[in-house]
Amino acid sequence: MSKTVFIGDREYFPNIPQIIYEGPESDNPLSFKAYESQRVIAGKTMEQHLRFAVCYWHTFCADGSDPFGPGTRVHPWDTGDSDMARARNKLDAAFEFFTKLNVPHYCFHDRDLAPEGSSVAESEANLASLVSLAKERQDATGMKLLWGTANVFSHPRYMNGAATNPDFSVVAYAGAQVKAALDATVALGGENYVFWGGREGYACLLNTNTGKELDHLAIFLTMARDYGRSIGFSGTYLIEPKPMEPMYHQYDVDAQTVIGFLRHYGLDGDFKLNIEANHATLAGHSSAHDLQMAVDAGLLGSIDANRGNAQNGWDTDQFPMDMYDCVENLLVVLAAGGLGYGGLNFDAKVRRESTDLEDLFLGHIGGMDAYARALVIADRIISDGKLAAFKASRYASFSQPHGQQFEAGELSLEALRDIAAGNPEPARVSGKQEWVESLLNDYMFS
Ligand code: XLS
Ligand code: NI
Ligand code: NI
């Protein structure tokens, strides 16, 4: 893939060179220590396994503002005499960033790319104009769109939800926005389309008809699916679970809740899950747990790679640097055969206190190196087979005649009773958690 270093008429990161692999001995922070895009692991390159994506919103839109104060980072692309001029500058900065980082994919919300206009038609025109520019940039750099989505949660009209808003006129506005975002995703060859239920939930059960809202959500998603297919979208629709924040309760609580929803409404043929690590931890799970639930249902689509903070319950969206998390996540993914058309999207932001533009690169380099190291370790664990063999041995009794009959649904509850009555007290079989945990340590540090 041939890539130019910067596009447009201005360089936004003049102090940042092309980021290359320099290996573990390098003390250059602006280099990869572990991520070698073309290194082959288990038959695929690191680039093909990990399918990294940069997210537009945290990286080029967020400036460090929080509920207690304004932004702390100054973005040179935020200059220009109109919202549209600033959006075009931001696009150039984004493609310079992607190219210098040598990342193959990106993701965006409609409103990250282009500003909202004063009417539906003007918003559509704004987006279409930035999409044609993005198409040119994609063609020039080889960048690909992992997924597009619509921001139907920031504008005040969506304060009570989008597809689940009690006011139909707001639902219609959400429909207009999702239609345009699907058009944009198809025009840019997006491989997936994401629905994160930003405010699809409620703040107070006393004033909410949840049954009606859930039906509305399914009707809306069905319409969106049908429209996307009608304009040639052949990729995967993804739902991104999250239990709370901004709403007190959100309908897409966690992987298992969304799997139940999709199956109930007959949407599991077109929709899969985009699992975000920090959303799983907000729901009281590990990210590996939610990934495993999605895999078990045959519905793992993609990953929003980040992490939370163990000391509080917010969606802090930190870069994924915890090696245990990364290894455990990739163990689930590799054992399931990989990410397919999904990827590892860094839905992660540098801290408010990280005020250098360079920090945007350092965050991504750190996350890419963490997952590259995790890939090597997870592959070693899987090739070695010790962990898998122990896991399988715990279920060996289901390969015996009675166990097989049970799995085939051939036994009744009375039959179970008779088998139990005819057998002595079962021997206790150790789960050996301490051994498997220390085995993981052996792989991590050898
Ligand atoms: C917010 C979500 C959001 C989605 C895209 O918590 O993670 O960023 O990934 O709408
Ligand atoms: Ni999030
Ligand atoms: Ni996300």
The tens digit of pLDDT for each residue in 193-221 reads 999 999 999 999 999 999 999 999 999 99
Mean of pLDDT values over 37-49: 98
- Which pLDDT value is given to residue 1? 38
Identify which of 136, 131, 142 has the alpha carbon closest to the alpha carbon of residue 98. 142
The percentage of residues in the chain with a pLDDT greater than 70, rounded to a whole number, is 98
Strands 105-109 and 144-149: parallel
| Residues 275-307: tens digit of each pLDDT | 999 999 999 999 999 999 999 999 999 999 999
- Which pLDDT value is given to residue 2? 40
The CA-based dihedral angle spanning residues 90, 95, 99, 105, taken in that order and rounded to the nearest 10 degrees: 120
Question: Where are the domains positioned within the chain?
Answer: 40-387, 395-445
Mean of pLDDT values over 2-14: 73
User: Residue 398 and residue 91: Cα distance in Å, rounded?
Assistant: 56
Tell whether the model's pLDDT for residue 4 goes beyond 80.
no
Tell whether the model's pLDDT for residue 7 goes beyond 90.
no
Superfamily of domain 40-387: Divalent-metal-dependent TIM barrel enzymes (3.20.20.150)
If one residue of 276, 279, 282, 290 were mutated to test the ligand 1 pocket, choosing by the most ligand atoms within 8 A of its CB, it would be 276
Asked if 109 is an active-site residue, the reply is yes
Confirm whether pTM is higher than 0.85: yes
| Ligand 1-lining residues (CB < 6 angstroms) | 109, 149, 194, 196, 240, 242, 276, 304, 315, 347
Tell whether the model's pLDDT for residue 5 goes beyond 70.
no
| Residues 365-420: tens digit of each pLDDT | 999 999 999 999 999 999 999 999 999 999 999 999 999 999 999 999 999 999 99
Identify which of 363, 298, 373, 281 has the alpha carbon closest to the alpha carbon of residue 330. 373
Q: How far is the CA of 348 from the centre of ligand 3 (A)?
A: 8
| Residues 237-265: tens digit of each pLDDT | 999 999 999 999 999 999 999 999 999 99
- The SS3 call for residue 16 is coil
Tell whether the model's pLDDT for residue 143 goes beyond 70.
yes
